[in-house]
Amino acid sequence: MLTSLWKRHGLVFAIGAVCILVNGQGLGPLWFAGVILLVLGGLMRGHLWRKQRPPQGQTPVPVEVPVTGRWQALNGPGTKVPSHTHSHAQTYAIDLTHHPTAEATPPFRPLWPLGRRPHHYPAFGSPVLAPGDGVVVATTDRQRDHLSCTSLPGIAYLYLEGFLRSLGWPRHLWGNNLVLELDQGVYAGFGHLRRGSLRVAVGDRVTVGQQVAECGNSGNSSEPHLHFQLMSGPDSETAHGLPFAWRYRDDDGTEHAGVPKDGTYLTPKK
């Protein structure tokens, strides 16, 4: 019960901000109530953040790369931990963008275009695969795939939108998502999936390499990509992140077992 209350820190923070913004009486009761709620919301979020810090020295769980073809690793634990943040069990999360060729992905432009439709990116619609045998325990599939944010104004908008999304439920950040309970006793989370692309439902049994969805651009996403993470439980607001190990080849053909550093181009090892 108490944990469920802590999870609503974003709502408390948002109500506090509204109290301050609509206050027209100076340093009156509404203003002080808003400040108290802002502080309380921050303390609640800090409490959850500390609870979600995983224990040290965990052994990486071996799973398969959940995509096919040539991808680039970004924001991953091969470069720093936490790779994202401890919140939402993202300590060891990684992002993948699809680069079948060097020229396939539209380049970043400082001012124009502000954004592009997702179908301009090769990642959009690419198959997302089960990294191991398991069971589907959660899905969300109704959020739209929005324009990319691959310009300076777009990035500024993305950070503002990301903050606002963080005040809500995990699905507002992850977009369309899927959680699998793998047979190893861990949970695999996939984010930013394409709307309408889920090929499985809660309770379905999946096997390693089976297509479960398509890569999209829903949620807090700058461009079509796949967000992947392992967790200790099905709820990203209470679980902690788990390290994982992939088998893959880099562009030189060298085989690896682990997690790639940011900027590495990788192809899954068959």
Question: Partners of 242 in the beta sheet?
Answer: 230
**With bands split at pLDDT 50, 70 and 90, how would you rate the model's confidence at 108?**
low
More confident residue, 6 or 48: 48
By CB atoms closer than 10 A (0-12, 13-18, 19+), residue 7 is: middle
pLDDT of 74 strictly over 90: yes
Contact status, residue 44 vs residue 87, Cβ threshold 8 Å: no
pLDDT over threshold 60, residue 2: no
> Residues 69, 100: contact at Cβ < 8 Å?
yes
pTM for the complete prediction? 0.77
Give the range among 39-43, 132-136, 168-172 with minimum mean pLDDT.
Answer: 168-172
Mean pLDDT, the chain, rounded, equals 82
